[in-house]
């Protein structure tokens, strides 16, 4: 039973390029969450998705960032025209359902470096 | 009101000692309080979690103490081991989602 799979593990982009981060949830999980972790800081919620729906995107920057979770395939976090300040670790978590009794499992993260 | 405040920022404990990490929150709608352990280069892993209807939960060497009136909760690691050296995050969530609000983390070093 594979855990939450994120790829790539490391991603280097030049300023102005696009970054695509992928997340495959655990088998049987239909809820996906993206978090960002800046160096020496805690994780900040970005977006919560269910299959084909964005449930809560209150933590997403208004520009350049978008997320999707299609009916088939992994969830994608897309960052357009990356800037140095986007350098961070991006973690995906998945859960079987919603609500406080439902444990969220995290992936190993994608470490984005913008040069 | 969405913040979760965590202290200390770093902690050094001797092997066999007790590690104590504290968190405080403001939002009384929070109803789920997990603790995560994170090793360098890895994702956070759930250690233990508590709901506000109990004041304490113990799993092995890890105990959460919860004080609803003070809006505080803490993690106690008994008989701390060098392998426990990691960053620990408290978190809280509310309502019908698993949107977690994380504390800023505590870097724990257990000296042999």
Overall average pLDDT of the A76-104 stretch: 89
Q: Between chains, do B98 and A102 touch, taking CB under 8 Å as contact?
A: yes
Residue among B7, B21, B57, B99 with most chain A CBs within 10 A, to mutate: B99
The first and second tokens of residue A44, run together, are 């900040």
Q: Between chains, do B97 and A41 touch, taking CB under 8 Å as contact?
A: no
Which candidate, A32, A39, A13, places its Cα nearest to that of A77? A32
* Type and span of the H or E element at B33: strand B30-38
In a 13 Å sphere around the CA of B55, the CA atoms on its Cβ side amount to 4
Residue B108 confidence (pLDDT): 98
Interface size A-B, in CB pairs within 8 Å, comes to 65
Q: Between chains, do B100 and A56 touch, taking CB under 8 Å as contact?
A: no
Each residue's pLDDT tens digit, A9-43: 999 999 999 999 999 999 989 999 999 998 877 89
- pLDDT beyond 90 at B83: yes
- pLDDT beyond 70 at A100: no
How close A74 comes to chain B (CA, Å)?
18
Confidence of residue A79 (pLDDT cuts 50, 70, 90): very high
Residue B95 confidence (pLDDT): 67
Burial code of A44-78, b = ≥16 C-beta within 10 A, e = fewer? ebbbbbeeeeebebebbeeeebebbbeeeebbbbe
Each residue's pLDDT tens digit, A3-12: 999 999 999 9
Each residue's pLDDT tens digit, B28-63: 889 899 999 999 989 999 999 999 889 999 999 999
Residue A22 to residue A18: CA distance in whole angstroms? 13
Overall average pLDDT of the A63-88 stretch: 96
From A87-96, A97-106, B4-13, B87-96, the region with the lowest mean pLDDT: A97-106
Residue A40 to residue A34: CA distance in whole angstroms? 18
> Which alpha helices (H) appear in A1-115, and where do they start and end?
none
């Amino acid at each position: 039973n594979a855990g939450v799979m994120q790829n790539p593990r490391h991603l280097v982009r030049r300023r102005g390029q696009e970054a695509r981060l992928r997340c495959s949830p655990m088998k049987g999980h239909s809820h996906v969450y993206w978090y960002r972790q800046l160096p020496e800081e805690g994780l900040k919620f970005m977006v919560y998705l269910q299959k084909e729906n964005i449930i809560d995107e209150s933590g997403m920057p208004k520009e350049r960032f978008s997320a999707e979770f299609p009916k088939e395939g992994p969830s994608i976090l897309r960052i357009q025209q990356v800037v140095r300040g986007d350098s961070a670790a991006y973690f995906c978590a998945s859960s079987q359902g919603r609500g406080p009794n439902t444990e969220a499992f995290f992936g190993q993260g994608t470490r984005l470096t913008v040069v | 009101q969405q913040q979760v405040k965590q202290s200390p920022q770093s902690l050094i404990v001797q092997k066999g000692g007790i590690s104590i990490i504290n968190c405080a929150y403001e939002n009384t709608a929070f109803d789920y309080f997990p603790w995560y352990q994170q090793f360098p280069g890895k994702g956070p892993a759930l250690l233990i979690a508590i709901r506000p209807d109990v004041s304490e939960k113990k799993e092995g060497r890890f105990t959460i103490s919860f004080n609803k009136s003070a809006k505080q909760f803490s993690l106690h690691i008994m008989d701390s081991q060098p392998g426990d050296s990691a960053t620990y995050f408290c978190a809280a969530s509310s309502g019908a989602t698993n949107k977690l609000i994380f504390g800023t983390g505590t870097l724990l070093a257990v000296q042999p």
